Amino acid sequence: MTGSAAARSRWPLSVYAAILLRLNNPFQASTCLRKSCSHRRRKCRSLPSHNLLRPASTSCLLRLLIFGDPVYAPFFGAMGCTAAIVFSCFGAAYGTAKSGVGISAMGVLRPDLVMKSIVPVVMAGIIAIYGLVVSVLVSDGLKQQQALYTGFIQLGAGLSVGLAGLAAGFAIGIVGDAGVRGTAQQPRLFVGMILILIFAEVLGLYGLIVALLLNTKATNDVVC
């Protein structure tokens, strides 16, 4: 076994994993290696597109594997975009269906109150708009090559608005179902039902605010 072959055989598996992650863009990998080694005052040679790296660059490759921008980074952004719209629609669908059942049951005896009791359905539909807004913003920031930090931030933004919208949709559906049934028997309950629905709606609004703040941080201060 030659000297170079023996040296390559002693490399850990993480080195080969880092090499595979960077085969699609060797020039960017070379730039990241030089940056990651600058704090140790080492000379990082350029990464050729046809040769393997030397064992001396093992620590650089490990830093690249952990802190670089691997090819799977956009996956987390796509999952954040999906989570935003899917979970929000789950909450909106449950709120609409649950409130609609109560409105239909109430409309048999009091058809004059059907249009007045449609408020829970409207408020449940707004939850889906929150998820749609964040999903569009996150999808606009998706790139084929992006930092892993950006993907995590986009995933957090999508989960924030999605799960908050899911909780708000459940609350609106349960309150709307019981509220419209009670309003048919006691009209003075209508104002109280509206107040409860407002406080349930702002749960989704909180998730929207957090998601928008996270999305603004997705591309700020991103370093290799």
For the chain, the domains span 78-217
What tens digit of pLDDT does each residue of 96-155 get?
999 999 999 998 888 888 898 999 999 999 999 999 999 999 998 888 888 888 889 999
* pTM more than 0.85: no
- The second-level CATH assignment, the architecture, of 78-217 is Up-down Bundle (1.20)
Kindly state the tokens that stand for 207. Answer: 């998730």
Q: Name the residue with tokens 């850990």.
A: 12
Burial 165-175 (b: 16+ CB within 10 A, else e): bbbbbbbbbbb
Which has the minimum average pLDDT: 16-20, 52-56, 131-135, 213-217?
52-56
Measured CA to CA, the distance from residue 218 to residue 39 in angstroms comes to 26
Distances (CA, A) of 191 to 116, 137, 176, 197, 205: 11, 36, 12, 10, 21
Convert the pLDDT of each residue in 188-207 to its tens digit.
Answer: 999 999 999 999 999 999 99
Residue 144 near residue 72 (C-beta atoms within 8 A)? no
Of 191, 184, 189, 131, which is closest to residue 161 (Cα–Cα)?
131
